[in-house]
Amino acid sequence: MSSRDMILEAVQRNQPPAAPLPEVPLFDDAAEPPLPRFKASLERMGGKLAEPAAEADLAAWVAGHYPDLRVLCSTVPEIAGTRRIEAAQSPQELEDVELAIVRAAFAVAETGSVYLSESALIVNALGYLAQHLLVLLDPADIVANLHHAFARPEFAEARYSVLMSGPSATADIEGVLIHGAQGVRSLTVALVAN
């Protein structure tokens, strides 16, 4: 028996017995509605919250808020883009995307984060290569805190997932904050029901 096999066998033989994980409370704060808390947290992280009118044509709303777009990549059926995400053979083909539109499965009020996975992004790099990111979110899908977020099934089902809180940002030693240094320059969450 090799020394490697002896070590692995000793580790396996001396492992402690399996014990159930402790029950973690969800730390609910029922007194505070999630939407105002989500908005405050998102804005603190540099993001913006938009509330298009329910009867508004979403494509017209996007065109009004982003009038100079040339390359729009959408992964949602509500809005057609000028670049089809399904046609991208590699992430590098998305380097010139000015606006990416995706739908978040849910959001976290505590952190102002939106949950994105490979099913929302199609190509994971889309969430970082685009100049601007517009995330559609159903207001009913805002959870109170990270305890509720991690209890959702999406984390177990996804191969890739991220909680994104605002645009990319960096600051130097003098405290000068720059958005978009390593990723999207702006992140806007639009409240649009499923």
> pLDDT of 68-117, one tens digit each?
999 999 999 989 889 989 888 889 999 999 999 999 999 999 999 999 99
pLDDT in the model for residue 31: 67
pLDDT in tens, 17-70: 889 988 888 887 666 789 999 999 999 999 999 988 776 788 889 989 999 999
Rounded to the nearest integer, the mean pLDDT of the chain is 90
Which pLDDT belongs to residue 24?
81
Place of tokens 């995330």: 135
Residue 35 is predicted with a pLDDT of: 94
| Rounded alpha-carbon distances, angstroms, from residue 38 to 48, 60, 108, 132 | 11, 26, 7, 20
Q: What pLDDT is recorded for position 170?
A: 80
Looking at residue 155, what is its pLDDT? 86
- Confidence band of 6 (pLDDT split at 50, 70, 90): very high
Fold of 32-191: Rossmann fold (3.40.50)
**Spatial separation of the C-alpha atoms in residues 134 and 189, rounded to whole Å:** 6
Q: Is the pLDDT of residue 173 over 80?
A: no
Radius of gyration of the chain, Cα coordinates, nearest whole angstrom: 21
Task: State the pLDDT at residue 7.
Answer: 96
One-letter amino acid of 108: V
Q: Residue 29 has what pLDDT? A: 66
CB 98 within 8 A of CB 63: no
SS3 readout for 108-121? ECCCCEEEEEHHHH
pLDDT one-digit tens code per residue, 149-165: 999 999 889 999 999 99
Give the DSSP letter of residue 62: H
**Neighbour tally for 78: CB within 10 Å:** 13
Q: Tell me the whole-structure pTM to 2 decimals.
A: 0.84
At residue 30, the pLDDT reads 64
